[in-house]
Amino acid sequence: MDVMNIGIIAGGAVVLVIAGVVISRRSGGGVGAEAAAEHVKTGIQLFQRGRVDDAMKEYKKAIKADPEGAKAHLNLGVAFTNKGSDDKAIAEFREAARLAPERTDARYKLGMLLRKKNRKDEAIEVYHEIVRVTPEDARAHFSLATAHADMGYATKAIEGFKKSIEIHPKYSEAYDGLGVALYDRGDAKDAITAFDQFLRLAPTQQNSARVKSVTMMREAIMKRIKESKKNG
């Protein structure tokens, strides 16, 4: 359910979006920062051409020129993810987040990898920090709720999904997550309502597999509700 700049799909394949956003750094600028920016720019270009190893060399040169530059650490983390070196990527994303605490890019990527590695408690901590930094961001609350759902914390997940929907009333994925969490808590009727909202809002072509899955889940729940009334 998670919508992220780096996405993990079935079979362990990785879909990456270059971390080309501008991230502030704590360094005071100067020659080192300028040189680092050029290395990062070159690294991104190389990465886009599929030359990942050469891109990593440029990112490392950038870090050597300006160790406080968060953007180089962020992009190096993306490259490590592409190479399947998740632990090294996690370390780089942590450093990028430390250097640019006001930005959330690195934390979203960090949270995603921590969830992938089944380090769910750590992922929750990361998403809590994102919510702290961007309390009015629906995606932040959605991500935290999803992490809580991973841990089986249905009540906390429900609270998070509802907050996400409060901020962004047409957030279809939040209704999907809410429906699952409500059903896990035993609130079948409310789950149906949430799923109905998801089915109403979700772009069918983009979410065809999930729409089909939710439709089947909704039908199964409705059947159980009817059987329960009949037997009760």
The CB-based long-range contact list for 218-222 (8 Å cut-off, 24+ gap) reads 218/192, 221/183, 221/188, 221/191, 221/192, 221/195, 222/192
pLDDT above 70 for 26:
no
Query: What's the mean pLDDT in 52-67?
Result: 96
Helix (H) or strand (E) holding 8: strand 6-8
pLDDT of residue 102: 86
Residue 113: burial class (beta carbons within 10 Å; 0-12, 13-18, 19+): buried
Look at residues 100, 134, 133, 105 and name the one whose alpha carbon lies nearest to residue 24. 100
Largest CA distance in the chain: 77
pLDDT of residue 103: 84
Report residue 231's pLDDT band, with 50, 70 and 90 as the boundaries.
confident
pLDDT above 70 for 23:
no
Label residues 185-205 b or e (16+ Cβ within 10 Å = b): eebeebbbebbebbbebbeee
Range of weakest confidence among 110-119, 198-207, 216-225? 198-207
Cα distance between residue 139 and residue 150, in whole Å:
16
pLDDT above 80 for 69:
yes
**118-81-20 Cα angle (round to 5):** 125
All domains of the chain in start order, with CATH: 1-117 (1.25.40.10), 119-232 (1.25.40.10)
Q: Which two tokens stand for residue 15?
A: 């879909």
pLDDT above 70 for 18:
no
Helix (H) or strand (E) holding 7: strand 6-8
The residue with tokens 């841990």 is 151
Query: What's the mean pLDDT in 169-194?
Result: 96
Query: What's the mean pLDDT in 50-63?
Result: 97
**DSSP 8-state assignment for residue 12:** G
